[in-house]
Amino acid sequence: MRLVSIASGSSGNCIYAGTESTHILIDVGISNKRIEHGLNDIGVKGSELDGVFITHEHSDHVKGLGVLARKHGVPIYATKETLREIGKMKYLGEYPEELFRPILPDAEVQVGDMEIKPFRIDHDAANPVAYRIRSGRKAAAVATDMGHFDQYIIEHLQGLDALLLESNHDVRMLETGPYPYYLKQRILSDFGHLSNDNAGRLLNYILHDNMKHILLGHLSKENNFEELAYETVKVEIDQGDHHYRSGDFHIAVAKRDEMSEIITI
């Protein structure tokens, strides 16, 4: 199984996961042109997509959905509440709502030789989810836009080979930055975004011997930068109550304007 971030950040998100025979996207919050170029770079055509899985309805996760749906007729998976909100978005244009495939948190969806399991997250959206993906004995997950984490989320992130995890902001940069007070409070709330520190703390609960790759994603353009996210998470791991060190794992930062390396598990 392969996992690739085509784009990840506060301005747009699109993650590819696939095997030799099955190809899906998690979120399509960038232009269809960028999506197609990203897919082509890893040897996949848009027409070969077996499904698009949407985490929630915010524009940085769905803005490319209309064009993609019209061009390729790809099934669109999301919770019914998220699909209802997407259906109201006039800027996405017209496309067949017959493509909608409602899903339920904690209910696996089989697509080709991949099993995709949505699980609940707390964010200021209709009914947002993150996704755990399994093919054979290998498992990966994409977990962003979480205001906080709890035991439920920890349990759904156990036993992974690879993970793309939100590391959205540095708390001090956010608190002293240019955002208005209400927006700062939203981001810092339990329905906002995961900070660098909390990303590292969450990792401390789920690290294990077979974890191969950690991608830090959904970085804020205004309240974070790559080196800070990377170093903060490393410090949290090194200070964690376990025998692991940050150097035991391949940790990288997913960029907003460039594809990540191809993670193969």
For the chain, how many structural domains are there in total? 1
pLDDT of residue 197: 98
pLDDT of residue 252: 98
Q: Kindly state the DSSP code that residue 79 receives in the 8-state scheme.
A: E
Average pLDDT over the chain, rounded to whole?
A: 97
Q: Quick one: average pLDDT of 167-179?
A: 97
Residue 197: give its domain's CATH number: 3.60.15.10
42-77 pLDDT per residue, tens: 999 999 999 999 999 999 999 999 999 999 999 999
Domain coverage including residue 40: 2-264
Residue of 143, 119, 124 lying closest to 192 (CA atoms): 124
Torsion of CA 194, 103, 159, 18, to 10 degrees: -100
**Backbone region of residue 148 per phi and psi (left: phi > 0; alpha: psi in -120 to 50; beta: other values):** beta
pLDDT of residue 102: 98
pTM: 0.97
